[in-house]
Structure 1
């Protein structure tokens, strides 16, 4: 039996009285820094707006963007799709390039390693690698998984997910049984001990409580953070946007006093840390496109919520459907020919003004271990990428469902190094506008996380983008 969210929230002190975004924005602007978000999955942009995301980490590209002095810059690493060894090597490469770009641009940075709000990802290996390359091994690692838009809260050091108006510890959810990133503990102190394989004991992990934040305010937050041991891991409890505003201000004050932090957070903290509104909704213009071509939806995610959303779309929307049989693709000797055939059919339908859904078969294919499972995911994603590469007809817009799918289709399928995040079309679902150098210059591209929205959400997003 789980506690209801209303009961739990009623037991907490009221939010801190002062609205802080404007003050944070002023303090952050005066610091002359850019928040660089190393995003292990493209869904990390789901709370931000009017910011640039790079799908490449060339030194020149990063330096060019930093010279523009943006408040926030995303670099999409997609490292959650890789085995740990490869993710660490990638973090080394990106960390080195980022350091070179900082030197070339003269711009100071704040680094956020953005990861999943249900605690899946390469922690601590990825963060440790980033810290070593950026000379931040003495920095305090601030762990902030709260994702307010998605109903993920940290209270009493336990991370919860809201289901049916109840607070469910994430250890009791399917995410904890992830074939690659599974875990046993929702208590974040115990989770840290588990993930570090005992190198960091739960007793040595500090935490910032809801009382510290709501009663003490940013001054108490600063004092608590200043007292952290260098190189330690520190948990932030949060159950509202205001909690994270207070935390952001305390962090800024502590940094001004010389304390160094490396963040491992969900998406919600990112804009707030710069004094920007989190989760701002993007409203597509009614005359969003003059294209007479159909729209394209590509679904790679296998989670139950995605399957129910796909079924709803196919039942209630006007879409032509193509299923990619994963078992057959994995055994195929000429998958490229099969991808090209799907592209031709898709081109034909798009040019006739028909909307198209390309989706993988709903039976999840897994390997004998985490690495083989990741290789299967990569093979399926490569197949979808080859479909996109072979398209000749520009869709009205593109919706990509699933983290790996949306990352690979953007960077490899559309050959894009850069996009602008316009905002969320519905909470948690960001819309990108691809750059002029992509396969379809300026096209609207929706990054739709697997576990966001209700049953009708995919259909709702497509209708909104269609104007």
Structure 2
């Protein structure tokens, strides 16, 4: 068993860095021609670490123009999230979607007279289309602008959710009786993912494995905590910024660069170093977990929203709330069990996956019955809609994705028909693919503002600014974050029936 304290003992202590220092450095860089980070989010849960930023579920030029205008007019931090949902797509579809977003972002930026940088936001447990997505972004930028990418910076860490990178190894913090220990991510259920499994937690080896040797492990630049915290003894962030930029200097032709991260201060130190490297002329893309953007733009950590803040500016419906659970990871099932046990007044309705995958007429009839039951139950109180907990798996990744899409389409149908019949007080969607499809198609959200987290550092609240769900708080809840009580805690905060 690996103790976190023992692993960290080999490295310098934390270097205290205020978010304002990063924001000030960014403001200087942006003084002449502003730069906005366009975050291609492969599922909507990447917004859980930020606040008051625009998010798009569509990415036509006019959508990105709306986001750039919102940032300029509201003095929001310079980042916009584009919900690509590519983790639910096959590689060819994911590549095409990344290219389309980048082309449209570059076109909208040219019209607005701003610069853009690109962030490929993916999973803190290393699942997703890598290196495909940063490859496509780099190739598209080069084709459109002639600008070649020197380095792809990999930062999967998500300390709020217990995911840390130390010594170039990616870990999960142990929980319960294992608290205080570190578990290599390759030893967890996430490494066995049917579509995106992997065999190693050593990030340089992970890069070599996923790139099929195109990037050998020894070609990967590792920014370990000795570099990230180089200024710790003098409490001088400038020392760390120089050390990081110096380490990045050899990067060329999309060299992978892995960063150790344990704390928010490490994100800020990295942000200062990346800013210095880019000031020197390095062209970088980012492949990251959720909190990276918060650190990179110098945003303070937002405290969890209160119930009053969740409904601020809107008159909540008298209907019950709708909690939709699609994720099948073990943590989600435990959270669902706690919620159903504690929220005894809620109506529990199951979508039977076996019926969905059966005859078309049977599937349609099952969905019709489900919608009728949900609408009726919302008139009295909260409703928990969950897919059956038996996960139907195959050894074929493409077939696994097809099944996942079929199930998600059914969930979307139930939510959309419910919304247009009897709008709920709030909607919580549990699971990455589930929350993406519910946002874009179930609630028909096109533009929204991320207001902040419902729990510290995790679980995002979106405020839809257009469409039939305008004014209904929408909670994006990843399948793999929180503890067993978290889903119940968020529901209790929003509900008048709990």
Q: 1:223 to 1:287 in 2, by over 3 A?
A: closer
Is residue 450 from structure 1 mapped to residue 479 from structure 2 by the alignment? Answer: yes
Is residue 94 from structure 1 mapped to residue 101 from structure 2 by the alignment? Answer: yes
Q: C-alpha separation between the residues in 2 aligned to 1:290 and 1:272?
A: 33
State the 1:320 CA deviation. Answer: 0.2
Is residue 149 from structure 1 mapped to residue 160 from structure 2 by the alignment? Answer: yes
State the 1:419 CA deviation. Answer: 1.1
Aligned equivalent of 1:398: 427
Q: C-alpha separation between the residues in 2 aligned to 1:191 and 1:138?
A: 21
Aligned equivalent of 1:38: 40
SS in 2 for 1:399: strand
Alignment of 1:11-90 (within 5 A): 11-16=10-15, 18-30=16-28, 31=30, 32-68=34-70, 69=72, 70=76, 71-90=78-97
Residue correspondences, number: 463
Is residue 322 from structure 1 mapped to residue 322 from structure 2 by the alignment? Answer: no
State the 1:325 CA deviation. Answer: 0.9
Q: C-alpha separation between the residues in 2 aligned to 1:193 and 1:290?
A: 51
SS in 2 for 1:191: helix
Q: C-alpha separation between the residues in 2 aligned to 1:345 and 1:404?
A: 24
Aligned equivalent of 1:345: 373
State the 1:366 CA deviation. Answer: 1.6
Is residue 385 from structure 1 mapped to residue 412 from structure 2 by the alignment? Answer: yes
Is residue 302 from structure 1 mapped to residue 325 from structure 2 by the alignment? Answer: no
State the 1:41 CA deviation. Answer: 0.6
Aligned equivalent of 1:431: 461
State the 1:414 CA deviation. Answer: 0.9
Alignment of 1:236-255 (within 5 A): 236-255=259-278
Q: C-alpha separation between the residues in 2 aligned to 1:287 and 1:191?
A: 39
State the 1:332 CA deviation. Answer: 3.1
State the 1:466 CA deviation. Answer: 2.3
Is residue 291 from structure 1 mapped to residue 317 from structure 2 by the alignment? Answer: yes
SS in 2 for 1:25: helix
Q: C-alpha separation between the residues in 1 aligned to 2:58 and 2:470?
A: 17
Q: C-alpha separation between the residues in 1 aligned to 2:42 and 2:353?
A: 24
Residue number among 231, 234, 243 corresponding to 2:254 in the alignment: 231
Aligned equivalent of 2:300: 277
Q: C-alpha separation between the residues in 2 aligned to 1:286 and 1:28?
A: 29
Q: C-alpha separation between the residues in 2 aligned to 1:306 and 1:134?
A: 38
State the 1:207 CA deviation. Answer: 1.0
Q: C-alpha separation between the residues in 1 aligned to 2:392 and 2:65?
A: 40
Per the normalisation by structure 1, the TM-score is: 0.96
Superposed CA offset, 1:89-148 (max 9, x none): 111222221221122222111211000011000000111011111225433101111111
Aligned equivalent of 2:230: 215
Kindly indicate whether the alpha-carbon contact (under 8 Å) linking 1:67 and 1:107 is maintained by their aligned counterparts in 2. Answer: no
Kindly indicate whether the alpha-carbon contact (under 8 Å) linking 2:149 and 2:285 is maintained by their aligned counterparts in 1. Answer: no
Aligned equivalent of 2:392: 365
SS in 2 for 1:430: strand
Q: 1:287 to 1:150 in 2, by over 3 A?
A: closer
SS in 2 for 1:415: coil
State the 1:279 CA deviation. Answer: 5.2
Is the deviation greater in 223-232 or in 83-92? 223-232
Kindly indicate whether the alpha-carbon contact (under 8 Å) linking 2:38 and 2:118 is maintained by their aligned counterparts in 1. Answer: yes
Kindly indicate whether the alpha-carbon contact (under 8 Å) linking 2:106 and 2:116 is maintained by their aligned counterparts in 1. Answer: no
Superposed CA offset, 1:260-319 (max 9, x none): 110001011111101002454222218945432111100000011111111111111021
Per the normalisation by structure 2, the TM-score is: 0.90
- Unmatched 5+ stretches in structure 2: 232-239
SS in 2 for 1:343: helix
Residue number among 194, 200, 205 corresponding to 1:185 in the alignment: 200
SS in 1 for 2:357: helix
Kindly indicate whether the alpha-carbon contact (under 8 Å) linking 1:244 and 1:272 is maintained by their aligned counterparts in 2. Answer: yes
Q: CA RMSD in A?
A: 1.5
Kindly indicate whether the alpha-carbon contact (under 8 Å) linking 1:336 and 1:386 is maintained by their aligned counterparts in 2. Answer: no
- Unmatched 5+ stretches in structure 1: none
Aligned equivalent of 1:122: 129
